A and B are shown apart, each in its own frame.
Chain A
Amino acid sequence: MRFAYVNADPLENTEVLADLKIRLDASGITMRMTDKPWQEIYHPCPFLYFRNAYIRFDSEGQVIDFHIKNPHIPLIQTLNREIISVSHFTQELNSFVIRSTTYNMRPSIEPLPILLGTHCRPAYLQLTINSLINSYTLDDKQRLYIVASQPDEESLKIIEKTLSTHSNVSAVYSQENLKYAFANFGSKFFNLSQFIHFEDDGIIPDHINYNIPFWTRQLAYRATTTDIVAMRIYEGNWASEMFTCGMLDQKPLYKFDDHLWHYIKKKDAEQRTIPLGGLGFVIKSETMYKNFDPAMYATSDSFLLKESKSMCLVNMPIYHIGANQKMDYPGYNLKKKEAKVERHQKGVNMRTKEEKAIDLAPDWAKHALCNSSSC
């Protein structure tokens, strides 16, 4: 018997799993699901190993046949250093490299667009845009929307340069500082019914393509399995007050284990401090943008948490460089301290130069209805 172990969690995209199973079945290989790394799988003879369900390579049957005939070879890996077959016959760690590379299956679900708000922290904006663009290099259908909310000259230059070099990026310029209402504004301006919320101060680690290929599609799928999907915010650069104020005493920090996807029930989430925020948070506009506080025209993520029954946290730590702003941009918070914004705002699409007026007040559902019937 020939086996393949696939490291995946129970709510993995069924399309991706089915595709892999069909491939393996065709080669007479039995697929087994696991949540363990290859080092912890004990199997009497060599087996294929898929670090996640998206990994694909050609000639699976030939690889496992070769390995079964040569069990003294501990590992078989591809040119891109992906371990694809394992034998515990020996304790050595040497690898046999085959002249082939793995690739990732692209799921058919559409990628979620990313909506990024920025004001005037150009250094942070540049690093955030760099990491976002790097994170979706695999996906030519990915869209990035930027809301430039009363940006300074340097931030504006960064956005203009990004627009000139990346055709899948759009941006809207607002003369006013939209503060916390930027996502309400941006979702209406670009008509985004669902998107990934981002601010200009979150750096995604470069290993996202290694660990979550097509991550915006994966988040889109996960959003169908639970009320909330959010990425983890790295806790290591929190201000010292976070550790000394006693908050973590009342609600201890949620501890992530090595797994990527963490499903939590609301009642369990309420017992913990969950490191999530405005970076990598999946927003369903109709659910989020309603019943506005007329002064701010914004909804905080705590509103979503209140309405949800379960959440999926993605253990992909985003570095919230904004937590460093008292070192890099002292005084920046003062600009947001008064969160009040005017109800009627205007924005100019920086690519098409089209100007639009946006009413921040209506619920998103009403806005969408008006938009479709041109009321």
Chain B
Amino acid sequence: MDCLILCDDIDSQELSYELVEMCLIHKLKSKLVLRQHFKSLIENSRSLPPFLFFNESAARIENFASVIDFHRKNLSFGMIRDQQGVPLSLNPSQVEIFNGEPVVKDLSKIFTAANASVSHKLLPIQPPHIFLLAHNRPLYLELSLNSLLFSLQPNSDKVPITLVLIAPSEEVISTALNFHQKHSYLNILQIAENTHMATPIFVLQYLENKNQLPESFMVYEDDFILPSSIKNLYPNWPWWFAHRLKVHDLVAWLPSLDNCPTSVKWYINHHNLQITRNSIPGSRWMDNSTNSHLAMSGNAVACNTKRYRLCAKRSGYGYPVDTELTSLAANISCPTVFGYHIGWNQEQDGFSKLDGRIWPKVSKTATIKDLIKNETTTTNL
């Protein structure tokens, strides 16, 4: 084995086969291994010479032939890594696997290569169109957008993102426009009426009227902060979300439950809900096959447009509520890293109370203004 390529259970064959072929051109033999089998593979490969390490099928190593050549001539090194600390090649006799990551304990056995680095190839699929919904919490919007855009680097401009301002406050409009100044690829739509949970349905209709209906989209709320580690642990995640939507009904970031408010804590205690989120050790994804209470809170949920519209039709409100979404979602896939649902703090931050859930009636018509193009249209459901 000359190259080890870690794969997920639902991986991209296009990318992994391309990588295998690229290595073969340099007469290097690859091995594809599920991420959860990585540890046992290393334990059973102690006697092998160093090999190139691709942390995922999308990873591409610049000058990889030189890297493996150098490492095999310098067997005292346990790991060669790039200047960002990303492993490029491993010597199995000196590597331990911890939490799915290769670790060399003796730092003097790590060589940092100046002329090689890892990049991540984009999957040949259209990422979901992200609708970031905001209403009247400008500070939350700012923090959520900072984290979203950071997580998408260096390809944030390749993901369609629309900030949807629903009957917004002046501060929210100003925050959105400030972001647009720095990130001109962001679209901004302002809906005059408070369309509540029906907003995605209106935006889909608006886009369809412009012949821009996406195949999949993501409802992303303005109160959800992704950790900075996402950029490294889930590079180009929207493309992987779209990929997973080929086999899953919903793909979503989950919030940590550590700050869930008293009312939710009470509900969990009262019903003795088993909210532990199981995942396969080593895997970066989990699903609802072993956990019916995956605690979907709908902060950042991707789904296919067709399915979402079916949920809307099924619902008595004309738009999907949580129960509609989960009723038509037999399988749900989620990363094992959680975001922070700062919206659960909204009462202490001076916004409205969280108690009670209302599903208001929403008009069938909305006035939607494109704040960048300064165009206003009326959208009918």
- Chain A residues with a Cβ under 8 A of chain B: 37, 39, 51, 81, 83, 93, 123, 126-127, 130-131, 133-134, 203, 205-207, 209-211, 234, 236-246, 248-250, 317, 319, 321, 323-324, 326-328
Contact = CB atoms under 8 A, between A and B. Distances in A.
A280 B285 CA distance: 33
B77 interface: no
22 contacts: A51-B269, A93-B270, A123-B139, A127-B345, A130-B348, A134-B348, A205-B261, A206-B259, A236-B227, A236-B337, A238-B229, A239-B228, A240-B229, A244-B103, A244-B232, A245-B85, A246-B98, A249-B103, A250-B105, A324-B147, A327-B228, A328-B142
Contact of A127 (B139, B147, B150): B139
A244 B101 contact: yes
Contacts of B261: 205-207
A183 B105 CA distance: 36
B259 A123 contact: no
A237 B105 contact: no
Contact of A37 (B231, B233, B272): B272
Contact of A81 (B228, B232, B256, B266): B266
A81 B233 CA distance: 41
Contact of B349 (A39, A127, A209, A248): A127
Given A130-B350, A203-B259, A205-B345, 4 more contacts: A205-B260, A206-B345, A207-B259, A324-B225
B293 interface: no
B186 interface: no
Contact of B139 (A126, A203, A243): A126
A203 B101 CA distance: 30
B239 interface: no
Interface in B103-160: 103-105, 139, 142-143, 146-147, 150
A209 B98 contact: no
A182 to B, nearest CB: 24
Nearest to A203: B345
B340 A206 contact: no
Given A236-B337, A241-B85, A246 B104 contact: yes
Interface residues of B, number: 43
B380 interface: no
Given A209-B262, A210-B262, A239 B350 contact: no
Contacts of B271: 93
A39 B274 CA distance: 12
Contacts of B259: 203, 205-207, 234, 317, 319
B342 to A, nearest CB: 8
Contacts of A319: 258-259, 340
Nearest to B55: A244
A304 to B, nearest CB: 25
B143 A328 contact: yes
A324 B228 contact: yes
Interface string B73-113: 00000000000010000000000101101011100000000
A199 to B, nearest CB: 17
Contacts of A205: 258-261, 344-345
Contacts of A238: 227, 229
A242 B232 CA distance: 12
B229 A327 contact: no
Contacts of A244: 85, 101, 103, 232
A249 B96 contact: yes
Given A206-B261, A206-B344, A246-B104, A123 B269 contact: no
B237 interface: no
Contacts of A131: 345, 348
Contact of A240 (B233, B262, B347): B233
A245 B110 CA distance: 12
B185 interface: no
A326 B228 contact: yes
Contacts of B364: none
A323 B103 contact: no
A205 B225 CA distance: 15
B225 A130 contact: no
A236 B348 contact: no
Contacts of B270: 81, 83, 93
